Amino acid sequence: MKPCKGRGAVSNADGRYEPTTHVVEDDGWGVLDVEPPPLKTTVTNEAARTIISRNDSPDIPFDRSINPYRGCEHGCVYCFARPTHAYQGLSPGLDFESRLFAKPNAAKLLAQELRKPGYTCEVMALGSNTDPYQPIERERRITRGLLEVLAEHNHPVAIVTKSALIERDIDVIAEMAQKNLARVYISITTLDKTLARRMEPRAASPQRRLETLRTLHTAGIPVGVLTAPMIPALNDMEMEAILEAAVEAGARSAGYVLMRLPLEIKDLFQEWLIEHYPLKAEHVMSLIRQSHNGKEYDATFGARMRGTGIYADMIENRFHLACKRLGLNQQRSLLDTRQFRVPVRSGDQLALF
């Protein structure tokens, strides 16, 4: 089966919870050799009951996050969020990037949750699962609404995105940044346009992301770069070049994640490799296994993001040496949680003192 133009995944295999499995076979008329028609994106509104997701993972630097959308049209083939589409009875493959879910009541729910008496303020993460600035945000403006609520409550936020659309919200983010309430990380995995187009087909180009990083920095917003994921023998040789370009654009902090392939992603990624880089496929997968205790993925906390073994250690050493040389991660001030307040609204009971 030929890949769909403008999409990341090559196939649309059934999710792991489905009772049946469908297999695509040639019917004798050569239909698998014909380029499939463009796959349209559909968006379904979801009536969410809560909006803040919480985690207690020891290797994640935040304990709460917001995902305004399920699925992501950027179509990054390596996206670790793909397996979550199986919870919807859909495929982590093409369904994940074409059958999306939006949460139009997200801002209202957030305001309600922040006003609960027992709520304690910690940094909120936006973009931890799917990109809050994927293309449908241009019309839906759900992320914009969430930022306005966070700003109203003086609630700190850390944003991760691959999209230039974040520039639209500079007015809100810059005002929060002046109060030490906002930080943005731009994810840049490669400077090679051809690789980016294949690996992240509907995300902004690498050069456009660098422009966005520079624009945010000029607006006074603290910005960092995430070189994630680093894929052995495919893009890891670009790590230093990406960090250098990001520093030139204004980045003062950086992070990286070694390629991780949980659940269905291991099959999706191998299909993609064979389709686009058949001569490198086995070598890339061999190095990934060497970096995850002989498996495609090791879910052990502390190891799942960084890997283990000689190759993983080499990438980690290169990253730290490059950061030291470039002055990255030298001064990492924490966002301020002490300014959090619940704004008084009509009908609220006033405090006695």
Give the per-residue SS3 of the chain: CCCCCCCCCCCCCCCCCCCCCCCCCCCCCCHHHCCCCCCCCEEEECCCCCCEEECCCCCCCCCEEECCEECCCCCCCCCCCHHHHHHHCCCCCHHHHHEEEECCCHHHHHHHHHCCCCCCCCCEEECCCCCCCCCCHHHHCHHHHHHHHHHHCCCCEEEEECCHHHHHHHHHHHHHHHCCCEEEEEECCCCCHHHHHHHCCCCCCHHHHHHHHHHHHHCCCCEEEEEEEECCCCCHHHHHHHHHHHHHHCCCEEEEEECCCCCCHHHHHHHHHHHHCCCCHHHHHHHHHHCCCCCCCCCCCCCCCCCCCHHHHHHHHHHHHHHHHHCCCCCCCCCCCCCCCCCCCCCCCCCCC
Cα(241)–Cα(203) distance, integer angstroms: 20
> Alpha-carbon distance 261 to 278, whole Å?
18
The pLDDT, as a whole number, for residue 351 is: 53
Confidence of residue 348 (pLDDT cuts 50, 70, 90): low
What's the average model confidence in pLDDT over 84-104? 95
Q: At residue 30, does pLDDT exceed 80?
A: no
User: Which pLDDT band, with edges at 50, 70 and 90, does 145 fall under?
Assistant: very high
Residue 150 confidence (pLDDT) above 60:
yes
Q: How many residues does the chain have?
A: 353
Percentage of residues of the chain with pLDDT beyond 90 = 80
Please tell me the least confidently modeled range out of 15-19, 40-44, 135-139, 166-170.
15-19
How far apart, in whole angstroms, are the C-alpha atoms of residue 229 and residue 225? 12
Quick one: pLDDT at residue 318? 98
pLDDT at residue 9 in the model: 92
- Judged against a pLDDT cut of 90, whether residue 14 lies above it is answered with no
Cα distance from N-terminal residue to C-terminal residue, the chain: 70
Q: Determine the average pLDDT of the residues in 275-281.
A: 96
> Is residue 353's pLDDT more than 60?
no
Q: What is the mean pLDDT of residues 160-169?
A: 98
- Distance from C-alpha of 212 to C-alpha of 223, rounded to nearest angstrom: 10
From 24-33, 176-185, 312-321, the region with the lowest mean pLDDT:
24-33
d(CA 240, CA 242): 5
Least-confidence region, from 5-19, 49-63, 90-104, 294-308: 5-19
Q: What is the pLDDT of residue 19?
A: 74
Within 10 Å of residue 118's Cβ, how many Cβ atoms?
4
Q: Could you tell me what percent of the chain has a pLDDT over 70?
A: 92
Residue 33 has a pLDDT of 62
Phi-psi region of 309 (alpha: psi -120 to 50; beta: other; left: phi over 0): left
Residue type at 9? A
Per-residue pLDDT reduced to its tens digit, 324-345: 999 999 987 899 999 999 988 7
Say which residue, 17 or 59, is predicted with more confidence.
Answer: 59
Write the CA distances from 110 to 101, 148, 166, integer angstroms. Answer: 18, 11, 20
Q: And the tokens for 288?
A: 């990934």
Q: Rounded mean pLDDT of 232-248?
A: 98
213-237 residue pLDDT tens: 999 999 999 999 999 999 999 999 9
pLDDT score, position 128: 85
Fold annotation for 36-326: pyruvate-formate lyase- activating enzyme (3.80.30)
